[in-house]
Amino acid sequence: MDPDGEGERPLRREPSGVTASDPPLSSSSSSSSAAASAVCARGHPVLRPAVPVPSDIEVSQSIVRDVGLLPIEIVASEAGILPPELLPWGIGKAKVMVAPTLRRLADVPDGNYVVCTGINPTPLGEGKSTTTIGIVQALGAILGKKAFACIRQPSQGPTFGIKGGAAGGGYAQVVPMEEFNLHLTGDIHAISAANNLLAAAIDSRMYHEDSQSDDALYRRLALAKSGMPFTSVMRRRLVKLGIDDTKSPEDLSTEERSKFARLDIDPSTITWNRVLDVCDRHLRKIEIGIGPAETIQPRGTNKGEVPRVQHSRTTGFDIAVASEIMAVLALARDLPDLREKLGNMVVAYSRSGMTVTADDLGCGGALTVLMKDALLPTLMQTVERTPVLVHAGPFANIAIGNSSIVADRLALKLAGEDGYVVTEAGFGADIGMEKFFNIKCRASGLKPKCAVIVATVRALKMHGGGPPVSAGKPLPREYTDENIPLVRAGCCNLVKHIENARKFGVEVVVAVNQFKSDTAAEMEAVREASLAAGAFDAVVANHWAEGGRGAEALGRAVIAACEASDVGNFRFLYDLALPIRAKVETISREIYGADGVDFSELAEQQMAQYESSGFGNLPICIAKTQYSFSCDPKAKGVPTGFRIFVREIRSCVGAGFLYPICGDIMTIPGLPTRPGFYDVDIDVETGQVIGLF
């Protein structure tokens, strides 16, 4: 994998490749032939898709210009959110006050919980986000159901690098797409601020500990404000150390003072990186603290006795969404849980092997304060004015790659018994869906009924052995001409994902996300294979070109699947009480189809350490390539006869999982020679954004 992606930009639909004379593949009553004034049953204008479909930003801007955004207060009120529960937040966005809303709706039964996932991605694109949005447009705008999409906030950095936005696409997207893709309501910025405050606290604490005696440290930490009691975060450390937390700072013994004040961080154990929401490869590995002021007189020495020592260290930056704080945001149930998880994050170990947490560093409260607004999901709308909750966006490479528990809980209560919540899981179903079930649903207690697995004929052809493709070159004929054998061969990938989903006891609906070149026979081949593999249904959908109307059949299939589903059947793949090794093996064999797992010596040591530290009962969040069931991104289809190699196992103790590293995992991308920002500008007269994609 070239993480800087010269030529790695996924092949996006090329609107210019479709001429104006091409009719849409299926006609619909909402096509451009409909009357301008047509309104739907909800009283909103019926979507009138243009042919050919313009670029995503043009669709978004044309909706805002020609149809108008529904004021977010109205979106909220139609979604069942009361005015005092809403915080409008810039153009077309609002945050929802979760706690009072959930209190009010405590007795309402949850809606139908649907996860949208996909086959293993290929450069040809599958359209998980687009389909997630398409389904709720169908359910909400066409079929008259209360329907919410819960999607992740995209990382802003890659938007200016090689990756486009993530608001969906065509006529199945969240608007305004500029607002969605830029800053949104600042949650990722809050994560960066919190992450980097903690990072500064680590290095600065080591700096002060390395140059001060226990007595001086304790005086400054606990006695500086004379007569003041321990602060709440200090009392947490006292409890951890087994010191009576009702004592006054003056009352600690010398030994207790030393234990309290000296974290004694072993620098080699620090796992906490700084973060930026920018593609900046030069920050992957850096040396910090090399300036003239970052020297210390080592404690216990006198001035001039030994030369001052440079207080430097090798570390690195990750992209902001890779921060454990993002993982915490996705998995926190509410504000008290957020406070606990943030305080419990382990950033290093002491020289005696004790965990060093954010609360030990005095930061847990401040981090929570920085994150208090970020805990509120952002309400936006689709092009058909149905509600979308945008929240969290943990890096699927190393974390769960799912939207938040908070947003899903909120949406399920707002949807109510007859309503639907479609939440998106990142990467292929072997990663995103597995983590959704085993980690997110376990943490939330919420029970899904249905998994929608998105596939495209083109991508299946690649899994069936079709030739590689590259950006800027015409697609090989295999992908543009009918080729039933290639489709049939590639369905193996889809089939394995269907079988995997069935292991969790949910119904499966396959969504064939339609491209112009797909033929009826090809699509039928996918449908047959899906039903044979145990899918409840398999439906072709054309929401990209037609909006909700294009996904109407898909929406009906989801409704039927939910009606047929019994949440009592939902089950996890493994028991948390199993040893770490057994949990990794279960996922690898059952989901990936591996013959077994090999652990490096380091990984063996880490398993022993985590189990002795009491972290052995955490769920497992495997970090591996999204492009294959195996760890080899080139192994398409359903590879067999392979083993999984676990190089090391890292922990997100605050968020609540362990993540074995299987393969090369890149945690901050770079910029290609011609980054996406070259296209981006602003019309200074209108303020209109140009060139986002």
Task: Give the catalytic positions in this structure.
Answer: 128, 130, 152, 163, 396, 427, 515, 544
* CB of residue 87 to its own copies, shortest distance in Å: 5
Distance CA 674, CA 692 (A): 14
Distance CA 527, CA 292 (A): 67
Distance CA 120, CA 636 (A): 8
Phi/psi at 584 (nearest 5 deg)?
-65, -40
Q: Which is nearer to its own copies, 66 or 679 (CB)?
A: 679
* CB of residue 344 to its own copies, shortest distance in Å: 14
Q: Which is nearer to its own copies, 332 or 538 (CB)?
A: 332
* CB of residue 318 to its own copies, shortest distance in Å: 12
**How do strand 309-310 and strand 295-296 relate by DSSP bridges?**
antiparallel
Distance CA 570, CA 274 (A): 39
Length of the chain: 693
Distance CA 359, CA 347 (A): 10
Q: Which residues are registered as beta bridge partners of 314?
A: 287
**Mind giving me the DSSP string for 554-598?**
HHHHHHHHHHH--GGG---SS-TTS-HHHHHHHHIIIII--SEEE
Distance CA 209, CA 185 (A): 38
Phi/psi at 327 (nearest 5 deg)?
-65, -40
* CB of residue 591 to its own copies, shortest distance in Å: 30
Spatial CA neighbour of 331 closest among 421, 444, 424, 410: 444
**Mind giving me the DSSP string for 287-311?**
EE--STTSEE--TTS-TTTS--EE-
Spatial CA neighbour of 543 closest among 266, 234, 171: 171
Q: Which is nearer to its own copies, 182 or 492 (CB)?
A: 182
Distance CA 137, CA 48 (A): 14
* CB of residue 366 to its own copies, shortest distance in Å: 4
Across the chain, which distance is largest between two alpha carbons, in Å? 88
**CA–centroid distance for 249 within its chain:** 43
**Mind giving me the DSSP string for 306-322?**
S--EE--EEE-EEEGGG
* CB of residue 207 to its own copies, shortest distance in Å: 7
**CA–centroid distance for 546 within its chain:** 27
Q: Which is nearer to its own copies, 521 or 690 (CB)?
A: 690
Q: Which is nearer to its own copies, 74 or 224 (CB)?
A: 224
Q: Which residues are registered as beta bridge partners of 507?
A: 450
Instruction: Yes or no: say if 318 and 623 are a contact pair by the CB < 8 Å rule.
Output: no
* CB of residue 324 to its own copies, shortest distance in Å: 17
* CB of residue 352 to its own copies, shortest distance in Å: 22
Q: Which is nearer to its own copies, 21 or 226 (CB)?
A: 226
Q: Which is nearer to its own copies, 167 or 450 (CB)?
A: 167
Phi/psi at 156 (nearest 5 deg)?
-75, -35
Angle, helices 364-371/324-331, rounded to nearest 10 degrees: 70
Q: Which is nearer to its own copies, 416 or 675 (CB)?
A: 675
Q: Which is nearer to its own copies, 30 or 181 (CB)?
A: 181
* CB of residue 17 to its own copies, shortest distance in Å: 12
Helix (H) or strand (E) holding 135: helix 128-137
**Mind giving me the DSSP string for 58-76?**
HHHHHIIIII-PPPHHHHH
* CB of residue 282 to its own copies, shortest distance in Å: 4
Using alpha carbons, list the distances in angstroms from residue 47 to 64, 67, 361, 615.
12, 9, 54, 51
Q: Which is nearer to its own copies, 58 or 681 (CB)?
A: 681
Three-class SS state of 426? coil
Token digits for 386? Answer: 């149905």
Count Cβ atoms below 10 Å from residue 281 Cβ, excluding itself: 14
Three-class SS state of 677? helix
